[in-house]
Amino acid sequence: LCYQVPALVMGGLALVVSPLVALMQDQVAALRLAGVGADTINSSLDREANVAAWRRVASGQTRLLYLAPERLMTERMLEALSRLEVSLVAIDEAHCISQWGPAFRPEYEDLSRLRHIFPNVPIIAVTATADESTRGDIEARLFAERVETLVLGFDRPNIKLAIESKQDSKRQLLRFIERHPGKSGIVYCLSRKKTEEMAAFLEKNGVTALAYHAGMSKEAREANQNAFMTLSGVVMVATIAFGMGIDKPDVAYVFHTDLPGSLEAYYQEIGRAGRDGRAAEAHMLYGLGDIRMRRMFIDDEDAAVEHKRRSHGRLDTLIGYCETAECRRQVLLGYFG
């Protein structure tokens, strides 16, 4: 709604910047089903497919073109686009600018040049999860503060929030899943090794479970994701590599076997549950070992001192959320302002 509808109303070519190939392909497929001329040019397509897509763009058939920041911010692409009638630039999952930072994907930072390259074209940045400091980052880096920021509701009342102390995470997970027989769910683990162990453990106990992490081959990841998206009653055991843009309506629960990275990450991950509006659960196990592990991750990161200080602050907020005696929903909504 925020950028596809305006793109169609305004005419011309809308550019959509998106961080993941799977995300671009999902949106392009959905738009085409609705009869909209949409295309993506990305590294997973062969040269022929990309050239054909560009021809459609250049001839005016394409209304929305999806690109990764790395592809968009090449001189060649910018030069070619400057000759076309670009009507809108939309930056999707804009929190990536803040979270991934200059070390991981420098082109995200580079998107700030767009307002000079397309001076008369409206630019919108959208995300479903950005706390105040992430919003500040987006405003400063992308727009040099010259931007109107709209913050809408964060409340998902159909998701029940629960946290229990970690004793035997395998048994605790199995007990939880046995209360939700035949339902689809996502189980998040901190490491690739634990992801595989948990999936194997569930399978051994009669649960249809699949693993997903960045160490698997692309084919295996895609096969598991497709099975999860198309079948019911599948449990996906995954690292945070799985999730962005996952729009499966009937996910009945999200279970964290380990502490997430921040309250923002937690909110993003539990937001994959209950999209059909039915009752869903967000269940987290939480122990002291998790906190030590997370502190170590932050200290070992190749990042500026200020970035680390903020990361430790975010972790403190998450610990406060876990230990609060108040209503968790109020704490969560208060955090997002």
Q: What is the pLDDT of residues 68-123, one digit of tens each?
A: 999 999 999 999 999 999 999 999 988 888 766 555 577 888 898 999 999 999 99
Q: What is the pLDDT of residues 284-332, one digit of tens each?
A: 999 999 999 999 989 998 888 888 898 899 999 999 999 999 999 999 9
User: E strands along the chain, which residues?
Assistant: 13-17, 38-40, 64-67, 86-91, 123-125, 159-165, 184-188, 209-212, 235-238, 251-256, 280-286
Grouping H, G, I as helix, E, B as strand and the rest as coil, residue 160 is: strand
Task: Report the C-alpha gap between 314 and 268 in whole angstroms.
Answer: 14
DSSP 226-257: HHHHHSSSPEEEE-TTS-TT---TTEEEEEES
Q: How much of the chain exceeds pLDDT 90, in percent? A: 71
pTM of the predicted structure, to 2 decimals:
0.79
Grouping H, G, I as helix, E, B as strand and the rest as coil, residue 304 is: coil
Among 19, 18, 39, 43, residue whose Cα is nearest residue 28: 39
Mean pLDDT of the chain: 91
Q: What is the pLDDT of residues 162-214, one digit of tens each?
A: 999 999 999 999 999 999 999 999 999 999 999 999 999 999 999 999 999 98
Token duo for residue 101: 């930072």
Question: For residue 281, what are the β-bridge partners?
Answer: 160, 253
Note whether 77 and 54 are within 8 A (CB): no
Note whether 188 and 269 are within 8 A (CB): yes
Task: Report the C-alpha gap between 146 and 167 in whole angstroms.
Answer: 49
